[in-house]
Amino acid sequence: MAGSIEQRKSEHIQITLNEKVTGDAITTGFESYAFIHNALPEIDFADISTEAEFLGHACRTPFLISSMTGGTALAETINRNLAEAAEERGWALALGSTRALLDSDGHPPSFLMRRYAPNVPIIANIGAVQFNYGYGIDECRRIVELTEADMLVLHLNSIQEVVQDGGDTNFRALLGKIETLCTGLGVPVGVKEVGWGIDGETARRLTDAGIAFVDVAGAGGTSWSQVEKFRSKDPVRRAAAEAFSDWGIPTADSVRMVRAEIGGRTLVASGGMRTGLDAAKALALGADFVGFGRSILKEATQSTEDVLESMAVREMELRMAMFGIGASNLRELKDTPRLVRKGF
């Protein structure tokens, strides 16, 4: 089993890097929004602050590295480069699914990133469906202890599990188990999709159960039905996956839906995020943090320096957007009336 997990994780990396894994007719939705330019911003660009707080943890930007990988030697290199860059730039760091961490053959060092990122929030990660396959609070606590994580996120990936050969598809009665975990784990618990978005009503049920933050991980970026299509040996699953290449809630719409339902709970926008301008739009729509994943994966396979340069570009884009509307800090960006539907 451990060997199959390691092989699957390696294949995920290669497929995501080298194959077309996005939908053909679905986007994040951010292209439908524009900021009304402010020709007289009345602020000094040098004074713009992007300081943010993630559940009590200070960050220099409202950015996090989304959960991507782990469990292989290549994943260790990728995660180390990401962790070192996150520490230097002050980004939060989310780990890939840590189920393999509990298996001695699942390349545990690929998940142990605290040594490289001692001062930024680290988010451990496991699939919520695993609660129906023998995992519980003890396993989650062990994952948090091993990774020295500040919090845990549960990923929801129902469509992926159906397409994946041997996938875990029993999603029955998970909400009560999630509530038990939130009550007893001792660190904040969040929830995230993996590229199909979360609707407002589902987000409200989750936060009512004790979830501390919601990462919408909306549609418009990587489609995991397409990733698993390339791996599957089942012709029926491969063919069926094609019909779902454009499935999901666009990230921009998911952010709006969820913000309307969860009050002041922390909201993360991820899913197809490519630029700091996308991030600025997401923050103005109601997100508190923005996650970047596949858009920095290639750099993470190369070096920490390449990741740092990519991060610097996204931070500059965010600051330029803020300057362009006269927002000197994130509160002013989130409160701006200058984000409008295109066509104004």
How far is it, in rounded angstroms, from Cα 277 to Cα 342? 15
Query: What is the model's pLDDT at position 4?
Result: 65
Q: Which residues are annotated as a binding site for Mg(2+)?
A: 161
Nearest in space to 196 (alpha carbons), one of 216, 163, 219: 219
Q: Which residues are annotated as a binding site?
A: 8-9, 66-69, 97-99, 125, 160-161, 192, 222, 272-274
Fold observed for domain 5-341: TIM Barrel (3.20.20)
How far is it, in rounded angstroms, from Cα 54 to Cα 125? 16
Name the stretches of the chain with pLDDT < 70: 1-5, 104-105, 344
SS (H, E, C) 185-218: CCCCEEEECCCCCCCHHHHHHHHHCCCCEEECCC
- pLDDT tens profile 208-264: 999 999 999 999 998 888 889 899 999 999 999 999 999 999 999 999 999 999 999
Q: Distance from CA of residue 130 to its chain's centroid?
A: 19
Query: What is the model's pLDDT at position 20?
Result: 84
- What are the domain boundaries of the chain? 5-341
Query: What is the model's pLDDT at position 105?
Result: 67
- pLDDT tens profile 52-68: 999 999 999 999 999 99
Query: What is the model's pLDDT at position 3?
Result: 46
Query: What is the model's pLDDT at position 261?
Result: 98
Query: What is the model's pLDDT at position 89?
Result: 98
Query: What is the model's pLDDT at position 11?
Result: 86
Q: Which residues are annotated as a binding site for substrate?
A: 8-9, 97-99, 160
Query: What is the model's pLDDT at position 61?
Result: 98
Token pair recorded at residue 318: 């965010």
Query: What is the model's pLDDT at position 1?
Result: 39
Q: Which residues are annotated as a binding site for FMN?
A: 66-69, 97, 125, 192, 222, 272-274
